Chains A and B, each alone.
Chain A
Amino acid sequence: MRLINNNHIPQNYEQMEDRELVHLFRKKDDQQAFRELMNRHQAKVYSYIFSMIQNREIANDIFQETFTKVITKMDDTYNEQGKWIAWVMRIAHNATIDHIRKQKRFVDVTSSYDEESKTDFYERLPDEDSIGQHEKLELDESTSSLLKHIGNLPEEQRTVVMLRHYYEMPFKEIAELTNVSINTALGRMRYALINLRKMFDEEHEKEQSNL
């Protein structure tokens, strides 16, 4: 989806790289450049936030908070040497994690490698009802089902999955963003895939039994 007023974005803006647009917005207060940046990245940023929060209103608030920070901090803290979107994602990630920690909505579900608890992953999964109810979004069934499963993943696994799949962020960058080693980031991805496989299998079994 492009922004409603995007019909007056000159074509050359669409051909520009992020850093050029950022430069135009920062130095010349070029609103069209910012509009183009929003067009390019807003859906991915919003998807990340929404998939982490699973609540439309809160996702809207965090999305707005993220871009308000982006607008006000771009002159002070953004270094044009780095990728702009990685910087934006860091803000979005921090805002999302802050919210999750404040609300303590999510029960910490560590994956099966946790030997201390000696419990299976599914034994530690909270009831679906206790997890934030999915908003009734106009999403197709497969996306909705995927998001539901992703929402059941522990926060740190969900973060890696979303950053990798929405942003195709290399694991090295994910590790930097989440302040962990690359091995930990890879491990989280591995457990996320194992957990998702179990969830899909279970869903498939349910469907089979209903038939």
Chain B
Amino acid sequence: MSKKENQSITYIYNEMDPSEKLEFERDLENDSNLLIEVESFKNISEKLFQLKCIHPPAEISDEILGRAETLHKKHSSSIGSRYMFAAAALIVIGLTSGVFLLNSSEGSTENNTGSAMIGSTESQLNNTFPVNVLSEQPAVVSSSGIVRSEVNAIEPWIDENDVIHFYDRFRADNIATIDSMFHHSYQKLTPVTDPSQSVSIQRHLHLTGSRR
């Protein structure tokens, strides 16, 4: 079937481009056989357009509507439960991996920074300060550098920049002792040789020795 032969169909069913239509109408004027064919097709087509719709029996339509209520609910609930199951599985996987990641990062943080910080803070302080300086037990530093328990406890606090403060926790009579402790602790500090190594460390312990 050539495209040319089908043109009479596209013409009578109005599916031609305007330019094609003009050209075809010119052909119709010159070709009487084509004109007869198109007219007869039009005639049959008009008869076909008289075809009336046939309606399904009412009970069939009602049955389908009844099925729509039950089947669609059932089907969408099964789809819903499938999605719910998938969502639940996703949440469980997410939570599990989240907890795992959190644990591992906490572990590493504790190992690398947190515990190091706290540990080092405590150990440094413990090293720097004699026993019980940070404890809640009353302590006092003796002339030999030993803290006695009568002295009020120093409770250092760490601000949001991870700077440990204890200058406001000292009693005036302990200042000299604390100063000597600071001096002692400063001697333990070593200069940083490779600053790039500390770049990845997120939390730092800053010892401040300022006094107000």
Which residues of A are at the interface with B, using a C-beta cutoff of 8 A? 1, 3-5, 25-26, 29, 31, 34-35, 38, 42-44, 46-47, 50-51, 59-60, 63-64, 67-68, 71-72, 74-76, 113, 137, 139-140, 142-143, 146-147, 161, 164-166, 170-171, 183-184, 186-187, 189-190, 193, 196-197, 200
Contacts and interface: CB of A to CB of B under 8 A. Distances in A.
Contact of B75 (A43, A72, A196): A72
Contact of A43 (B44, B48, B56): B56
A166 B64 contact: no
Contacts of B71: 68, 71-72
A25 B72 contact: yes
Given A60-B56, A75-B79, A186-B6, A42 B50 contact: no
Q: Which of A137, A189, A193, A197 has the most CB of B within 10 A?
A: A193
A18 to B, nearest CB: 15
B188 interface: no
B65 A143 contact: no
Interface of B: 1, 3, 5-6, 8-10, 13, 15, 40-41, 43-45, 47-58, 60-65, 67-69, 71-73, 75-76, 79
Given A68-B67, A189-B9, A76 B79 contact: yes
Contact of A68 (B40, B56, B64): B64
22 contacts: A1-B58, A5-B62, A26-B76, A29-B72, A31-B65, A38-B65, A43-B56, A47-B53, A63-B60, A75-B75, A75-B79, A76-B79, A113-B1, A143-B50, A146-B47, A165-B51, A183-B3, A186-B6, A190-B6, A190-B41, A196-B47, A197-B43
The A interface is mostly helix, strand or loop, or mixed, namely helix
